Amino acid sequence: MTALFRLLSRTKLYWGLLLICLIGAVTSPQTSAGHNIFLSYGNLTDVLRQVSITGLVATGMTMVILLGGIDLSVGSVMGFSTVICAMLLTKPGWTTASAMGVPAAMLVGGAAVALAARFVFAGLARGRDVSAGPRREIALSRWRSTAIPGLLGLIAAIAIAWWTLNQVPTKFGVLGVLLMAPCLALVLGGINGLLIVTGRLQPFIATLAMMVSALGIARLTAGSDNAVVPVYTGTNATEAFELLRSMLWGVLPVPSVFFLAAIILFGAMLRFTTFGRYAYAIGGNVEAAKLSGIKVAQVQLSAYLLSGLLAGIAGVLFVAQYRQGKPDAGAGLELDAIAAVVIGGTSLMGGRGGLAGTFVGVLIFGLLSDILQLQNIDSNVQLVMKGLIIVCTVLVQEQNLGQLVARWQFRRSGAAHVDPKTADAHRLPSAAKAQFAREDLDEAS
Amino acid sequence: MSFELRRGEILGIGGLLGSGRTEILESIFGVSRGWRCGSIAIDGAAVAINSPADASRLGVALVSEDRKERGLHLTASICDNVALPSISALSRFGLRSFAGERALATEMVKRLSVRCSGIGQNVATLSGGNQQKVVIGKWLGTAPRILLLDEPTRGIDIGAKQEIYRLIFDLAVQGLGIIVVTSEMPELLLLSDRILVMCEGRQTGLLAREQATQETVMRLAAPGMAAWSQDAAS
């Protein structure tokens, strides 16, 4: 019985998702043929398509929040990425976008290839077996640690330069924008990371600054304040860009393929790689992680880089979806992403949670607004409902509900025979105590 | 200050609170807080330790004073905590070896006789002594040559204390160089082969085992209060 209850309480997030689906199915209007609209394939894939952009951003946000940080800049970075993407698609020749994008793509591509090469060499040099004796030295020779990776990186950078420069006089194709816009966003994420890691700024402050300045950069790039760069595939942009809003093999919408791939890829990364374990360790106790020899700065920097990268990809998908690039495309997106992450059970203190939760959190939001839309309910009601959902799920999440119950029980049992004069001395158990008591009970049962 | 640590030796560092004992250990381990200078040589070769990662690569391990704040990832399991500094050595191409981590944790739990329901237990639910053993096990897993222990028996019960003393002696016999910082005089006298005494950030004496008594140590640790310490000793 307790085991069953525990299983239920551990998977309650999924039950919530199921509940929302049930509500949707029951309340959904029917088509004239008697089919349930909510459960129809088209509707469900539409939900997936709509949540993909927030979902991608929330994926990056989860990594950052797991480390105990926060990234407020993702919305603006995404807006910047939409502007870059739209300009590259529609304007031939050297524009601000291509002038920034080509060097950024060279830099990022070269660095990525160099790091990958070095990573492979380090992996080859290392044995799996530590029982072989004391910790083996894994110092790579200079040739392998710098020369070959550097050379490969240079080659990659030149290749990217050649490839992109060829596209500058004409307009960029799908692959071109998919490379350049995320690379620029990655650079912005990298600036965030560097400010936090080397400048020792609070993540909140550093990313707040980036949020403001990225919006400015996006507006400057677009040329005027409320500039919208429209993208009409077939007339002013390549027809192939339509691919990013089509259905993959007629089954899955392409944006959701990106979203699902990101969830699976980074979920696996958190679970199966040292990076993932380091992320949890740093979020759980940064001092202990540092003293354990973890390169905290590297891990933190990569989280912000990834967050920027995913915001950049989300920007490209936004352009595909809404056929325009505008600087304030991502206004408020960072808060949606944070809300989805929190609903998914990731603690803002870091060290707890994961991407499965974020996936569910994003879906809960998407399904909710879909249900309300099917009922023709005012969109402002949706906002109120969103707020309610956030509060409810976070209340239901173990620790908080446990505290409430403990407090209530204490009051019921103890209130009667506590002298009001000494009541202050034995006040309610502190939140932490209640939590510990509960966990002990859990262990005992 | 200047001292050397021999293979298989236990060097105790005594002194009053705030005399800079923890800072010495942290400087050796590369946890820089403020300016550091000086040099470290291991096996006669000068080494540069600028970060805990450097230190652990060179086989130096630090069990810090405050296990909850600086030693443990409290929301994780014993297995995760023990394996943390070794994860990278156990992994290949960045992929964790779960079997290797579990084997390491099982071995350490057995070797240090940590009382727990299994290596999956959350470390926050362990007793202080067992938590301390987990922190020590975490570092023994990296096969260190030099072990720095900062107040290894702070806030743990007498049984666990005895086990930790025995462990320290065993490790010294196996040839590790061990530095122990402790505020407890009997512990200092019991464990140390030599005792380095500090006062206000300076080394005031290096006593061999035979010379070391409560009184001589106190005299060096608090020169101004020599009279007081004599009273206390008698």
Over the stretch A414-439, which tens digit does the pLDDT of each residue have? 655 555 554 444 444 455 555 555 55
Q: Which residue of A has its CA nearest to B77?
A: A281
A202 touches chain B (CB under 8 A): no
Q: What is the mean pLDDT of residues A156-172?
A: 82
Q: How confident is the model at residue A436, as a pLDDT?
A: 55
Q: CB of A286 within 8 A of CB of A68?
A: yes
Q: How far are the Cα atoms of A232, A257, A370, B167 from residue A180, in angstroms, in the given order?
A: 20, 20, 33, 58
Q: How far are the Cα atoms of A24, A331, A371, A379, A430 from residue A29, in angstroms, in the given order?
A: 9, 32, 10, 18, 48
Q: CB of B112 within 8 A of CB of B164?
A: no
Q: Which residue of B has its CA nearest to A118?
A: B93
Q: What is the per-residue pLDDT across B33-47, written as a single tens digit (0 to 9) for each?
A: 666 778 888 888 888
> Which of B92, B107, B174 has the most A C-beta neighbours within 10 Å, making it the best mutation to test the interface with A?
B92
Query: What residues in B contact A278, CB-CB < 8 Å?
Result: 87
The alpha carbon of residue B17 is apart from the nearest alpha carbon of chain A, in Å, by: 22
Query: What residues in B contact A440, CB-CB < 8 Å?
Result: 125
B230 touches chain A (CB under 8 A): no
Domains and CATH numbers, chain A: 43-91+171-396 (1.10.3470), 399-414+425-444 (no CATH)
The alpha carbon of residue B49 is apart from the nearest alpha carbon of chain A, in Å, by: 12
Residue A237 CB contacts under 8 Å (≥ 6 apart), including other chains:
A89, A90, A171, A231
What distance, in Å, lies between the first and last C-alpha atoms of chain B?
Answer: 31
Q: Which of B84, B95, B143 lies nearest to residue A281, judging by beta carbons?
A: B84
One-character DSSP codes across B59-91: TEEEE-S-IIIII--TTSBHHHHHHGGGHHHH-
Nearest CA-CA partner of A359 in A20, A51, A18: A51
Query: What residues in A contact B52, CB-CB < 8 Å?
Result: 290-293
Chain position carrying tokens 């920097």:
A301
- Yes or no, beta carbons of B96 and A273 under 8 Å apart: yes
Query: What residues in B contact A439, CB-CB < 8 Å?
Result: 122, 124-125
Q: Which of B74, B89, B138 lies nearest to residue A284, judging by beta carbons?
A: B74
* B206: exposed, middle or buried (Cβ count in 10 Å: 0-12, 13-18, 19+): middle
Considering only the C-alpha atoms of chain A, give the largest distance between any 2 of them, rounded to a whole number of Å. Answer: 84
A123 touches chain B (CB under 8 A): yes
Q: How confident is the model at residue A243, as a pLDDT?
A: 73
B142 touches chain A (CB under 8 A): yes
CATH fold of B10-233 reads: Rossmann fold (3.40.50)
Query: What residues in B contact A288, CB-CB < 8 Å?
Result: 69-73, 84
Q: Which residue of A has its CA nearest to B55?
A: A293
Q: What is the per-residue pLDDT across A324-335, written as a single tens digit (0 to 9) for each?
A: 888 888 888 888
Those of residues 292-311 in A touching chain B at CB distance below 8 A are 292-295
A433 touches chain B (CB under 8 A): no
Six-digit token string for A128: 């799996």
Q: Which of B52, B92, B100 lies nearest to residue A292, judging by beta carbons?
A: B52
A285 touches chain B (CB under 8 A): yes
Q: What is the per-residue pLDDT across B148-176, written as a single tens digit (0 to 9) for each?
A: 999 888 888 888 889 899 999 999 999 88
Query: What residues in B contact A128, CB-CB < 8 Å?
Result: 90, 92, 97, 100
H-state helical runs in chain B = 21-29, 52-57, 78-83, 87-90, 98-111, 128-140, 158-173, 185-191, 214-221, 226-233
Percent of chain A topping pLDDT 70: 84
Q: Distance between CA A261 and CA A248 in Å, rounded?
A: 13
Query: What residues in B contact A133, CB-CB < 8 Å?
Result: 143
Question: What's the sign of the alpha-carbon dihedral B148, B150, B154, B158?
Answer: positive
> Which of A292, A302, A349, A399 has the most B C-beta neighbours within 10 Å, making it the best mutation to test the interface with B?
A292
Helix axes A379-396, A333-343, angle to 10 degrees: 40
- Yes or no, beta carbons of A293 and B145 under 8 Å apart: no
Q: Distance between CA A307 and CA B40 in Å, rounded?
A: 40
**H/E run at residue A248:** strand A247-248
Q: How confident is the model at residue A132, as a pLDDT?
A: 45
Q: Which residue of B has its CA nearest to A437?
A: B125
Q: How confident is the model at residue A263, as a pLDDT?
A: 93
Q: Which residue of A has its CA nearest to B66?
A: A288
Chain position carrying tokens 């000793």:
B233
Query: Could you give the ipTM of this predicted complex?
Result: 0.86
User: How many CB pairs (< 8 A) connect A and B?
Assistant: 114
Q: Which is more confident, A430 or A221?
A: A221
Considering only the C-alpha atoms of chain B, give the largest distance between any 2 of them, rounded to a whole number of Å. Answer: 63
Output Rg (C-alpha) for chain B, integer angstroms: 18
One-character DSSP codes across A33-98: TS-BTTTSHHHHHHHHHHHHHHHHHHHHHHHHHHTT---TTHHHHHHHHHHHHHHHHH--SS-HHH
Q: How far are the Cα atoms of A28, A60, A62, A138 from residue A55, in angstroms, in the given order?
A: 24, 9, 10, 39
- Residue ranges of domains in chain B: 10-233
Q: Which of B56, B70, B94 lies nearest to residue A274, judging by beta carbons?
A: B94
Q: Which of B64, B104, B125 lies nearest to residue A443, judging by beta carbons?
A: B125
> Which segment, A67-71, A85-89, A222-226, is predicted with the most confidence on average?
A67-71
- Yes or no, beta carbons of B89 and A130 under 8 Å apart: yes
- Yes or no, beta carbons of A293 and B55 under 8 Å apart: yes
Q: How confident is the model at residue A169, as a pLDDT?
A: 78
Q: Which residue of A has its CA nearest to B53?
A: A293
Q: How confident is the model at residue A445, as a pLDDT?
A: 43
Q: Tell me which of A197-206, A426-435, B52-61, B76-85 is least confident.
A: A426-435
A287 touches chain B (CB under 8 A): yes
Q: Is the predicted pLDDT of residue A387 greater than 70, yes or no?
A: yes
Q: CB of B29 within 8 A of CB of B197?
A: no
Q: What is the mean pLDDT of residues B40-64?
A: 86
Q: How confident is the model at residue B97, as a pLDDT?
A: 83
Q: What is the per-residue pLDDT across A74-115, written as a single tens digit (0 to 9) for each?
A: 999 999 999 888 888 887 778 877 888 888 888 888 888 888
